[in-house]
Amino acid sequence: MILDQTRYRAFWNNPEAFRLRYLLDLDALKEGAPSKYGRDRGTVFHILNEGAEDAEAQIKATQNPAAVTMARHMHSVYKQATNPKFKTLAKEVAFRVSIGNGRHSMAGRIDSIIEPPGGLVWCGETKTASARADLAVTKWEWQRNPQADFEIIGAQSLGYNVEGVLVHIIKEAVPQPRIWQIEVKRTAEQLEIMKRSVEMTCDIIQMLIKQYGIDKPWPHAIPGFNPCLKKGYCDFEQDCACETLDHTKYSSRLEHLSGMQTWKE
């Protein structure tokens, strides 16, 4: 089995939502799904940051003009602040690392491998944040975010001797967005623990598939302890933990990470 950090987090956040999205390949409701400003803003920002030739065509698919406008503004401020200070060694770096004696793999894609002034090499990561974001809370979250472990492990497997992940948080603010820089590091012991955690997670998912199948509900997150239970936040809140499910209401999930089409095998 192959897990990326998104699937890893999704499983432990809510096994039932994980089943619906990654095993039944369901996505948002075809009709009536609310537009999520923060998600749209982040999506457009990353499209601009990747600099793809079809960036404008991708942005047109976003049905939230306010999010597009703010993302363009935030990206402009970010580029002015970081270029040419940072040397980019690689962009959109894909990786796959064998774990568990080759039984499973960790996979993912790193935004960039960068070398800021000083000669140290880092995984580069950019995120947008709302005006309500708090720096202390954001730092605390990133020190515990498995995305950092995945990216460091992936970069090391490709021969990059990275210090860690250098995260830039672009916070929505008036009149100018603010940029926070957070250094996230991991010890060798922490990385080994993460590899073992991912291996165990793969084993658990395979056990659930084999013993219980994917057509009936899996355990659901405990109310009050998971953000996906907020009204309007979860794409599946109408159907989580339901015996019957109308698949036709949902669009099909598209796989955006190369090499993950066979992740369950």
- In tens, the pLDDT along 22-49 reads 999 998 765 555 567 888 899 899 888 8
Domains and CATH numbers, the chain: 2-252 (3.90.320.10)
Please state, in angstroms and rounded to a whole number, the distance separating the CA atoms of residues 26 and 47.
23
> Can you give the pLDDT at residue 35?
61
217 φψ region: left (φ > 0), alpha (ψ -120 to 50), beta (else): beta
Q: How confident is the model at residue 63 (pLDDT cuts 50, 70, 90)?
A: confident
User: What is the tens place of the pLDDT at every residue in 69-83?
Assistant: 999 999 999 988 876
> Can you give the pLDDT at residue 227?
53
Q: How confident is the model at residue 147 (pLDDT cuts 50, 70, 90)?
A: very high
Provide, rounded to the nearest whole percent, the portion of the chain with pLDDT above 90.
58
Mean pLDDT calculated for residue range 3-13: 94
> Can you give the pLDDT at residue 192?
97
Mean of pLDDT over the chain: 88
Which residues pair with residue 166 across a beta bridge?
124, 183
Question: Which of residues 94 and 33 earns the better pLDDT score?
Answer: 94
User: What is the tens place of the pLDDT at every residue in 193-240?
Assistant: 999 999 999 999 999 999 999 999 999 877 655 555 566 667 777 777
What is the model's pTM? 0.88
Question: Which of residues 32 and 161 earns the better pLDDT score?
Answer: 161
Please state, in angstroms and rounded to a whole number, the distance separating the CA atoms of residues 137 and 133.
8
Q: How confident is the model at residue 15 (pLDDT cuts 50, 70, 90)?
A: very high
Contacts of 151 (CB under 8 A, 6+ apart): 5, 108, 110, 123, 125, 165
Burial 35-73 (b: 16+ CB within 10 A, else e): ebeeebbbbbbbbbbeeeeeeeeebeebebeebbebbeb
> Can you give the pLDDT at residue 174?
79
